[in-house]
A = this chain, B = another copy of it.
């Protein structure tokens, strides 16, 4: 963690001087950023970040009620109620916020594609919330760009390409995949495949990165990667994996949905699930609600969501009181070993 002093009596003139621009340009940065050229905008942004300057009417003018509310957008996936991680994030944040004396304000934006930043802007400008916790991130997340540019306090539940310049909490997805590989190697597996999402966000990339790292560490085992393409069901991808020659003896899936798809593909070709000769071991991720009840029970990585939620609220509290505060929290998941990767 690193912290910086609170800004004392900074003025817009200080920012303009540091950025070597006119005062009216510096004002435009907050009120009409589209009026600025890209280089000018970048210079002012750097000066604002360096000084921690906040325009009047932002934090200084927040009411206690506004400061006490934290905005949290519930992801707009096709069926978010089915996503075990988003549900746990939402519920954990409700508990964490309550314990810290805050009120979480969950909200939804649009089901259609398009920028969600205006929804954040509206909540902020109408003084509904004193900051945001943001999840379901894309690398070029326009919501994060908005929050950074306007100096709204926020903490990411997840990360972008750049890992500094903002506060975040995240599951160590690299470590999770390494744990999955280690577990399978201990069970005697040498041909371990990976079934994942396309590389488009840090969760997908880090889970795959951990898989590669795990293989390398285990003695440069061969990689066997099947990455989902949009429009093709994961079930078909699982079938493709099982048709590879030589056939993998274990599959690490990037989520429990894909793990169940793999089990389904195995059943279709009469392949038993588990560790041992003639079987295929399956490891999922996210430890979804039925993982301990299905046949077979599913080995899966459980994310440390409640701990991360607690820390996210901590960081946001610090960020609200000190605009230059920055900290990062990485927590390891836990591998819950069940029948799908165990010997019969």
The chain A residues found within 8 Å of chain B, CB to CB, are 74, 79-84, 87-88, 90-92, 94-95, 98, 103-108, 128, 256-257, 260-261, 263-264, 267, 288-290, 293-295
Contacts and interface: CB of A to CB of B under 8 A. Distances in A.
A103 B107 contact: yes
A84 B84 contact: no
A288 B79 CA distance: 11
Contact of A91 (B81, B264, B288): B81
A85 to B, nearest CB: 9
20 contacts: A74-B94, A81-B84, A81-B87, A81-B91, A82-B84, A84-B289, A87-B87, A90-B90, A94-B108, A103-B105, A104-B106, A257-B289, A257-B293, A260-B290, A261-B293, A263-B294, A264-B294, A288-B290, A290-B294, A295-B295
This chain: how many copies in the complex?
2
Given A82-B289, A290-B290, 11 more contacts: A81-B91, A91-B108, A95-B108, A103-B107, A103-B128, A105-B105, A106-B106, A257-B289, A257-B290, A263-B295, A294-B294
B81 A88 contact: yes
Given A95-B108, A103-B107, A293 B80 contact: no
A92 B82 CA distance: 12
Contacts of A79: 289
Closest 3 CB pairs of A and B: A82-B289, A260-B293, A81-B88
Contact of A80 (B84, B91, B288): B91
A60 B171 CA distance: 48
A80 to B, nearest CB: 6
A171 to B, nearest CB: 15
A90 B105 CA distance: 13
Contacts of A90: 90, 106
